[in-house]
Amino acid sequence: MTPGSYPAGHKKNLQKRAIILGAIRNFFTNNDFLEVETPHRIPLPIPEAHIDLLESESWVLHPSPEIFMKRLLAAGHERIFQLCRCWRNGERGSLHLPEFTLLEWYRTNADYLLIMEDCEALVRSVADTLGLQGILHRQGKEIRLHDPWERLTVNEAFYRFGGISAEKALAQDLFDEIMVCKIEPHLGREKPTFLMEYPTERASLARRKRGEEDVAERFELYIGGIELANAFSELVDSEEQRARFIQEQHYRAANGKPVYPLPEKFLRELSDVPPSAGIAFGIDRLVMLLLEAERIEQVVAFTPEEL
């Protein structure tokens, strides 16, 4: 790529991306989080029904640093974060790349509600660093970051936008279709939305909500109709986690997908993790929103097609 062929505005976007990454690191270090690095090439992933992996000889490239960050919690770390590259097979579109930048952070003695507070503070802080005055724009809509962020349960969203309960949608195998086609386009349009309390069937690593055993303490963050983050109060019961992993394996086998062995070291150490909460946050999408970009390739240095 030569200077003359470089897309207009791309250089400026990469400069602003660097500022955003610096602001994220400053936010966490100022809040007493330790930045950590964990392996990218791993022997065994977390078995998740809907995430396909890129293989590297007999190992895989990690789709998330989650498994090792939780092992660091078991080792006694209390507040940790990581900015890293991750890989998922077959993902490419205006919002997807097979290789992407992910932010994850974890807190001990915390739940998903505290992670929501972290999200609000982080996004507002980074936006302020860019001088955005608490306002984002996407598809002609003004999104106000300093207004109270919406908290909407999954069941409320299914009734409001789909005219059906989440339970019935699951039973009729319509959950994903309704979520993608009828619910997600409406979320976070005027202010960010936390879509929270997923059915336990869609939250394999999340703790069940006390008093409501059919839902889990999980949320996803949406801004401008874009899913930015996935978070939950961590499930730290190793036997229940094992049973859920086996269910994920059965789903993958039934759908002709590779089935990976269970991560036994992780399961052994899980019972040493104190009550905790954590989140995976898509940095490329956050940069898109902050810079008002329409496609993900506008905010990364290279796409697969350019290699």
Closest CA to 56 of 67, 38, 42: 42
Question: What is the pTM (predicted TM-score) of this model?
Answer: 0.93
pLDDT score at 280: 98
Kindly report the backbone phi and psi dihedral angles of residue 114, in degrees, each rounded to the nearest multiple of 5, phi listed first: -70, -35
Query: Low-confidence residues of the chain, pLDDT below 70?
Result: 1-8, 48-54, 56-57, 91
SS3 track for 159-202: HHHHCCCHHHHHHCCCHHHHHHHHHHHHCCCCCCEEEEEEEHHH
264 contacts: CB under 8 Å, gap ≥ 6: none
Q: Residue type for 85, please?
A: R
Domain span holding position 50:
3-306
3-class DSSP state of 151: strand
* Whole-number Å distance between alpha carbons of 46 and 34: 23
Q: Which residues neighbour 82 within 8 Å (Cβ) at sequence distance 6 or greater?
A: 35, 36, 37, 38, 65, 69, 103, 104, 105
| CATH assignment of the domain containing 196 | 3.30.930.10
Domain count, the chain: 1
- The pLDDT tens digits for 39-98 are 999 887 777 666 666 676 678 889 999 999 999 999 999 999 999 999 988 768 889 899
Report the alpha-carbon distance of residue 192 to residue 148 in Å, rounded. 8
What was the pLDDT predicted at 68? 95
Both structure tokens of 278 = 């954590």
Note the pLDDT of residue 8.
67
